[in-house]
Each structure stands twice: as C-alpha cells, then as structure tokens.
Homo-oligomer: A and B are copies of this chain.
Amino acid sequence: MGLLHPGREEIELPRVLHALSDPQRLSIVRTLAEDSCERRCGSFGLEVTKSTLTHHFRVLREAGVIDQREEGTARLNSLRREDLDARFPGLLAAVLASCALGEPLAASAG
C-alpha cells in the first residue's frame, strides 16, 4: 500500500487549512509539534475510535501536514515541518502559537 504523500510543491493552502480546522486533528498536530519525534497513531490520547483516528490521520497526510511511515504493525507519524515552512512560511508557527493559548492538550500518554 502506497501511503500517498503529496510532494512539497503539491501541498495546497486550502487543504492544509481544512485539515487544521478540526479540533481533533489540531490536537494531533500540536502533540507532534511538542516533541519532534515520531509517534504511533494510538498514542495521542484522543477519545475517538480507531477507525475515526485512521480517518483523521489520512486527512492530515493527504493534505501534506504529516508524514506517515510504516514500521512493523505500527505507523509512525511526524510533522512535515520543513515542507510546510518552505511552502507557507510562518503558517505552522502561527497556528501552533495560536492554539497554545486555547484549551490544553489532550492527555497524551507517551
């Protein structure tokens, strides 16, 4: 299975904004941004089903916000920070700074 990721130049602003416009996905991105290491899909402390989680991760990946790579049975997620910064300078930082002022992050067990 391909794990389709858009190339850097294919990342589109409306799609990124839409991907970030959901609280669950925003929480995922915040968690990924906090400690810049790869995380399994199940380690984000979100209170939704695994199927729903899969859906959100796909939206983020297809928008170009996150990178997913397979390792064993797990799927490791990381933020595409460089690509996003290159394409939309300052956007990610502004979003992260903005939601840092809002509700706290979900209890995400490491």
Please report A residues at the B interface, Cβ cutoff 8 Å: 12-15, 17-18, 20-23, 26, 87-91, 93-95, 97-99, 102
Contact = CB atoms under 8 A, between A and B. Distances in A.
Question: Interface residues of A: mostly helix, strand, loop or mixed?
Answer: helix
Copies held by the complex: 2
Given A21-B14, A21-B17, A21-B18, A94 B98 contact: no
A22 B12 CA distance: 11
B14 A22 contact: yes
Contacts of A94: 88-91, 93-94
A29 to B, nearest CB: 11
Contacts of A102: 12-13
